[in-house]
Every structure is written in structure tokens, then in C-alpha cells.
């Protein structure tokens, strides 16, 4: 039998495999609620401008609400023969309310319908993701406040560089998440524009009121150009780009947690409930959550590349290619929501091993720069003091002694400008407290920065 939605000009039914091949209902049914909301707004507008009677509109809305119930209760029978979520719902509407159901699609095309549904779906998804980012940030800020005085080695090249506070390190992650948050908020502005009214590509001959439909659906405005309205997917690409950056940040964070949880670093303990064991090695406690988040980064970045490649070379306006936008987009939403959830849940439970971090910070000559700065303050030009301290470090490597463990006489072999007060700058506390300016690692700065971050989070 020929397709009931467009069979008029066809002389044979669709090939069974082609039907399966071209269908999207298995994955686009996730937008059923948005599709129904869009249809209700469309019908309301059509009645307002006199294209439908008030009675027809009411019948359509009642029918759609009943279908929503069927879907929520798992009673709805999705049919591949009806291709996608839009035609499934419309066909069921006509089955339920009869001929009035056939009037719903007046002045509309699946092209503007699907574009509208995706935007409604993505707008909800972005709002959820934004709230998860905030939950994670709140955990990070708490941790930073709690560990404002905790000293750890700061690294460059993964080699000990200078002591930093753990709180400062956590607030670095928080800064990245702030930018991620802003990027998504900005992207939301472009998501929240309504394509409906573009119809297939050129607009429609009915006296539609697009502003009204947009207002009913909570859009900030309409897509100005009908050709662009049905074919634009750059809002989705932008979302995937912002998501890829979030995942990149979480992946870097994960890499650190995996390292820190190792026996070799032993800086943190992740709660058992976020780890798994080994089926062969009884001693193992593996940091699966950060590892998996790191791994899922590739998947989200892949989706970004999929969408970019999907859009490349598409002529105006709608092309069926665009049906391929959904799986990468939906999977990005799902993946990023899950990863943020896992991280936000895990953050308050991270246990910090202060003593181990402190011991590690004492190894690797982390206060060498402090000694160089000390000499500069005594009048030695920086390049000379760099050379002097380099020699002192070489001596320390040979003697297996940290700078702070050397006697005054030992240190004075390298410069007679060094006196008793040198030990104030060679301690870990001396080192971090000295970096006492906006953006520095001093505990007092970390507390102030955490306070500002919390205020920003609440605004």
C-alpha cells in the first residue's frame, strides 16, 4: 500500500528496505513532546488567524494531549512505515479525531517542523546541562575553599615547577567551566529562534502569525529567512563545539585524577562508589569514572566533526542529509549530561591526601625560583641569580638534598649574598604566601577568589 502521507503521486509502495533505510522514528521519537508542543502552538495560531475554527483547534489539541499520554504510558505504537516522529503523531491524530486531524499540517512542512522540534529539544537540553555545570562548579568551589591552604607541587611538563595550593588548582578548573557555561548561554540565544512558518522553504500562502507561535513556544524570535530557517543547523554545530570543549576540559581533569589516584602520586582518594575492581587482581581499585569521561571526549569531538561534515556542501534549502544531524546531536546531549552528572556527584567526595602532596612538593626543588627571586631582591641580576641557583640545585641533586635542607654554609658556597633570612623563602608556605596578588596561589588569594567565584555562580 502506498504511503498515506504522500502517496498521491506514487504508483508503487516504497521498497521495504528503503523504508527502513530512510526512517528516523527509532531515534527522533525522543522529540515527541516537542513535536506535540509545536503542533499545539501551530494549531492555536491557525485558529487565531482564522485558518482553523476554534472547535477544530480544540479537537486537535485534545487529540494531541491524548497522544502525549499514550506515548508517556508506553502505549503508542511507533511505525517505521510512517518514517519519523512527525508523521507517526500526525497519522495517529487523524486516526483518533478523524478528518480534522488532516488539517493540522496546513501552512507547515516537516522541514520547518523538524527544525523547530530540534531547537525546542536542544533548548531544554542546554538548560539542563547549564544546571549540571553549576552543580559541578559549586562542588569545585567548596573543595577549593576547604583546601585553600593545602600545598601541592605545581607542574609544567609534568615536572615539579613551583608549589601551589590545591584550592588554587581547583579554581583553575572552575574558570574553564565558567567559560564553558558562558559559551553555552551564548549558543542558547541562537538556538532559541523559531523556524516554523518557513514551511517547506519559501514560506506559506496562509496569513500566519509567526510572532504569536514563537511567543507560545517561548522562542526569543523567529528565523528571519525561510530558506535559512529550514536548512540552518549551525546552532547544533555550535552546541557540539561548546560540548567538545567541555569534554576536553573534563578529559584533562580526568587525566589528573587518574594520575593523582595512582600509587605513585597518591594525592587523592576517589570514593569506592566511583571506582571498580579487577576480576583478576585483588588489590585493584580503578578510577573508571574519570577514565570513561576521558574516553567519551573522543566521541563528542567525533560528533562535532560529523555535523560539520554533514553540513559541508549542502545547497539550500532542506536536504534529507539533515536527518543525520539527530543521532550525533542526541548522543552529545546524553554523553555530556552523563559526564557532568558523574563529575558533579563525585566532586564533594574527593578525599585529599595533604601529607603526600606536601611531601611531593618538597621534592624536586620546587622553591628554586623563590631562591632566585630572593637573590634578585638582594641586588643580583636575574640571569645571574638563575645561574647561581642552578648550581645549587645541581649540588642538591648530587647530595640528594632539597634547597631547604641545606645549611647556610652550604648555600653560601654559591653566593655570599645569601643570609639567614633565606629560609623564610625556601619553605613551601613562604613560597605560596609570597604569590599574593590577584590570580596568585597564596591561600588568602584563593579564599578571596573562591568567594568571588561563588558570588558569580549565584548571579
Residue positions annotated with a catalytic role: 157, 278
Stretch that binds ligand ARG, among 107-115, 161-169, 352-360, 390-398 (CB under 6 A): 107-115
- In this complex, which beta carbon is closest to ligand ARG, that of residue 3 or of residue 337? 3
- In this complex, which beta carbon is closest to ligand ARG, that of residue 244 or of residue 323? 323
Among 231, 323, 335, 441, binds ligand ARG (CB under 6 A): 323
Establish if 322 lies at the interface with ligand ARG (CB under 6 A). yes
Establish if 320 lies at the interface with ligand ARG (CB under 6 A). yes
- In this complex, which beta carbon is closest to ligand ARG, that of residue 157 or of residue 320? 320
Stretch that binds ligand ARG, among 138-146, 276-284, 315-323, 417-425 (CB under 6 A): 315-323
Q: Are 307 and 301 in contact (CB under 8 A)?
A: no
Stretch that binds ligand ARG, among 38-46, 156-164, 297-305, 319-327 (CB under 6 A): 319-327
- In this complex, which beta carbon is closest to ligand ARG, that of residue 231 or of residue 441? 231
Q: Where do the H-state alpha helices sit in 155-233?
A: 166-191, 210-216, 226-231
Sign of CA pseudo-dihedral 289, 293, 294, 298: positive
> Minimum distance between the CB of residue 326 and ligand ARG, rounded to whole angstroms?
6
Cβ-proximal residues to 423 (8 Å cutoff; 6+ apart), any chain: 404
Q: What is the torsion angle, in degrees rounded to the nearest 10, for the CA atoms of residue 322, residue 324, residue 329 and residue 335?
A: 180
Size of the site for ligand ARG (CB under 6 A): 9
Question: CA-to-CA distance for 100 and 455, rounded, in angstroms?
Answer: 54
Establish if 353 lies at the interface with ligand ARG (CB under 6 A). no
- In this complex, which beta carbon is closest to ligand ARG, that of residue 110 or of residue 188? 110
Other CB atoms closer than 10 Å to residue 276's CB: what's the count?
Answer: 14
Q: Name the helix (H) or strand (E) containing 221.
A: strand 221-222
> Minimum distance between the CB of residue 114 and ligand ARG, rounded to whole angstroms?
4
Q: Are 271 and 346 in contact (CB under 8 A)?
A: yes
- In this complex, which beta carbon is closest to ligand ARG, that of residue 34 or of residue 322? 322
Question: CA-to-CA distance for 20 and 157, rounded, in angstroms?
Answer: 52
Stretch that binds ligand ARG, among 132-140, 268-276, 317-325, 385-393 (CB under 6 A): 317-325
Residues in 5-34 that interact with ligand ARG by CB under 6 A: 24, 28
Closest alpha carbon to 437 in 446, 429, 428: 446
Establish if 110 lies at the interface with ligand ARG (CB under 6 A). yes
Q: Are 406 and 396 in contact (CB under 8 A)?
A: yes
Residues in 43-82 that interact with ligand ARG by CB under 6 A: none
> Minimum distance between the CB of residue 456 and ligand ARG, rounded to whole angstroms?
39
- In this complex, which beta carbon is closest to ligand ARG, that of residue 19 or of residue 369? 19
**Which grid cell is 226?**
525561510
Stretch that binds ligand ARG, among 54-62, 106-114, 329-337, 410-418 (CB under 6 A): 106-114
> Minimum distance between the CB of residue 90 and ligand ARG, rounded to whole angstroms?
12
> Minimum distance between the CB of residue 331 and ligand ARG, rounded to whole angstroms?
15
Among 35, 84, 145, 238, binds ligand ARG (CB under 6 A): 84
- The strand pairing partners of 155, in sequence order, are 160
Establish if 114 lies at the interface with ligand ARG (CB under 6 A). yes
Q: Give Cα 81 to chain centroid, integer Å.
A: 36
Q: Which residue has the cell 587525566?
A: 255
> Minimum distance between the CB of residue 150 and ligand ARG, rounded to whole angstroms?
51
Question: CA-to-CA distance for 256 and 340, rounded, in angstroms?
Answer: 16
> Minimum distance between the CB of residue 32 and ligand ARG, rounded to whole angstroms?
13
- In this complex, which beta carbon is closest to ligand ARG, that of residue 326 or of residue 353? 326
* Maximal C-alpha separation, the chain: 101
Stretch that binds ligand ARG, among 44-52, 110-118, 145-153, 220-228 (CB under 6 A): 110-118
- In this complex, which beta carbon is closest to ligand ARG, that of residue 88 or of residue 301? 88
Q: Give Cα 141 to chain centroid, integer Å.
A: 18
Question: CA-to-CA distance for 290 and 273, rounded, in angstroms?
Answer: 13
Distances (CA, A) of 310 to 126, 167, 232, 304, 314: 22, 43, 12, 10, 8
> Minimum distance between the CB of residue 320 and ligand ARG, rounded to whole angstroms?
6
Question: CA-to-CA distance for 436 and 440, rounded, in angstroms?
Answer: 6
> Minimum distance between the CB of residue 24 and ligand ARG, rounded to whole angstroms?
4
Establish if 431 lies at the interface with ligand ARG (CB under 6 A). no
Establish if 111 lies at the interface with ligand ARG (CB under 6 A). yes
Other CB atoms closer than 10 Å to residue 328's CB: what's the count?
Answer: 21
Establish if 198 lies at the interface with ligand ARG (CB under 6 A). no
Give residue 157's region: left, alpha or beta (phi > 0; psi -120 to 50).
left
Q: Where do the H-state alpha helices sit in 193-287?
A: 210-216, 226-231, 234-260
Q: Which residues bind ligand ARG (CB under 6 A)?
A: 24, 28, 84, 110-111, 114, 320, 322-323
Amino acid at each position: 500500500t502506498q504511503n498515506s502521507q504522500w502517496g498521491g503521486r506514487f504508483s508503487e509502495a516504497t521498497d521495504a528496505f528503503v523504508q527502513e533505510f530512510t526512517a528516523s522514528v527509532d531515534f527522533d521519537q525522543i522529540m515527541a513532546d516537542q513535536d506535540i508542543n509545536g503542533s499545539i502552538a501551530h494549531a492555536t495560531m491557525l485558529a487565531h488567524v482564522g485558518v482553523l475554527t476554534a472547535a477544530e483547534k480544540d479537537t486537535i489539541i485534545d487529540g494531541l494531549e491524548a497522544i502525549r499520554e499514550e506515548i508517556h504510558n508506553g502505549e503508542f505504537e511507533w511505525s517505521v512505515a510512517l518514517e519519523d516522529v512527525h508523521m507517526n503523531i500526525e497519522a495517529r491524530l487523524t486516526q483518533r479525531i478523524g478528518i480534522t486531524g488532516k488539517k493540522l499540517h496546513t501552512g507547515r512542512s516537516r522541514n520547518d517542523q523538524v527544525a523547530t522540534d530540534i531547537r525546542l529539544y536542544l533548548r531544554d537540553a542546554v538548560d539542563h546541562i547549564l544546571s549540571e555545570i553549576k552543580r559541578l562548579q559549586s562542588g569545585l568551589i567548596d573543595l577549593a575553599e576547604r583546601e585553600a591552604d593545602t600545598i601541592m607541587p605545581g607542574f609544567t611538563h609534568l615536572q615539579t615547577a613551583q608549589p601551589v595550593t590545591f584550592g588554587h588548582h581547583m579554581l583553575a578548573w572552575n574558570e574553564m567551566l565558567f567559560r564553558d557555561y558562558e559559551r553555552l548561554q551564548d549558543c542558547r540565544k541562537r538556538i532559541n529562534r523559531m523556524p516554523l512558518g518557513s514551511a517547506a522553504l519559501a514560506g506559506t500562502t496562509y496569513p500566519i502569525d509567526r510572532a504569536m507561535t514563537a511567543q507560545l513556544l517561548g522562542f526569543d524570535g523567529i528565523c528571519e529567512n525561510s530558506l535559512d530557517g529550514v536548512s540552518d543547523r549551525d546552532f547544533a554545530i555550535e552546541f557540539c563545539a561548546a560540548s567538545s570543549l567541555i569534554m576536553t576540559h573534563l578529559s584533562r581533569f580526568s587525566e589528573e585524577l587518574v594520575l593523582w589516584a595512582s600509587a605513585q602520586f597518591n594525592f587523592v582518594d576517589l570514593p569506592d562508589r566511583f571506582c571498580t575492581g579487577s576480576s583478576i587482581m585483588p588489590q585493584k581499585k580503578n578510577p573508571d569514572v574519570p577514565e570513561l569521561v576521558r574516553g567519551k571526549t573522543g566521541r563528542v569531538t567525533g560528533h562535532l566533526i560529523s555535523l560539520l561534515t554533514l553540513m559541508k556542501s549542502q545547497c539550500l534549502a532542506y536536504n534529507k542529509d539533515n536527518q543525520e544531524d539527530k543521532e550525533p546531536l542526541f548522543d552529545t546531549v546524553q554523553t555530556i549530561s552523563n559526564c557532568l552528572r558523574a563529575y558533579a556527584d563525585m566532586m564533594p567526595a574527593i578525599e585529599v591526601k595533604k601529607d603526600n602532596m606536601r611531601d611531593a612538593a618538597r621534592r624536586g626543588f620546587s622553591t628554586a625560583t623563590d631562591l632566585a627571586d630572593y637573590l634578585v631582591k638582594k641586588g643580583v641580576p636575574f640571569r645571574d641569580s638563575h645561574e647561581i641557583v642552578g648550581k645549587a640545585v645541581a649540588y642538591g641533586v648530587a647530595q640528594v638534598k632539597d634547597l631547604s635542607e641545606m645549611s647556610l654554609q652550604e648555600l653560601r658556597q654559591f653566593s655570599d649574598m645569601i643570609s639567614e633570612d633565606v629560609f623564610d623563602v625556601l619553605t613551601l608556605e613562604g613560597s605560596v604566601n609570597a604569590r599574593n596578588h590577584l590570580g596568585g596561589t597564596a591561600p588568602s588569594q584563593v579564599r578571596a577568589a573562591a568567594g568571588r567565584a561563588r558570588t558569580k555562580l549565584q548571579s
